[in-house]
Amino acid sequence: DTESFRQSFSEGDSTISPWHDIPLKGSVDGTYNAVIEIPKMTKAKMEVATKEENNPIAQDIKKGKLRDYHGPIFWNYGCLPQTWEDPNVEHPELKCFGDDDPIDVVEIGSKALAMGTVKEVKP
């Protein structure tokens, strides 16, 4: 838990963005890549920093305080790269607006995946 923590992503000698540079579609037909931000059984509210260069994973801050869940979460939580929920568009069925972030995803496997893992998931 520190405001300065950042987990960056690289490919070779270059820093890449997990949001813009990792493909949405997985290598197996019908799968998608999930970027794991919060490992199963942890509680720090980590997320791709959409306003920072190369979008490293950082702990979310609200009202000047680092955010945590009330207790550990029971799944791996992350985002789908190359997606975005538009805050100006209302979902036709759910009647809610996007949150200006990549689409959230949960991975419900039995193992905790390390922060920054790119995991192929099925819809």
Give the catalytic positions in this structure: 69
User: Which residue do the tokens 């869940």 mark?
Assistant: 69
Asked if 58 and 18 touch (Cβ cutoff 8 Å), the reply is: no
Count other C-beta atoms under 10 Å from residue 92's C-beta: 6
Percentages helix, strand, coil for the chain (3-state, rounded to 5) are 0, 35, 65
56: which 2 tokens? 């490293």
Q: What letter does residue 7 receive in the DSSP assignment?
A: B
Sort residue 30 into left (φ over 0), alpha (ψ -120 to 50) or beta: left
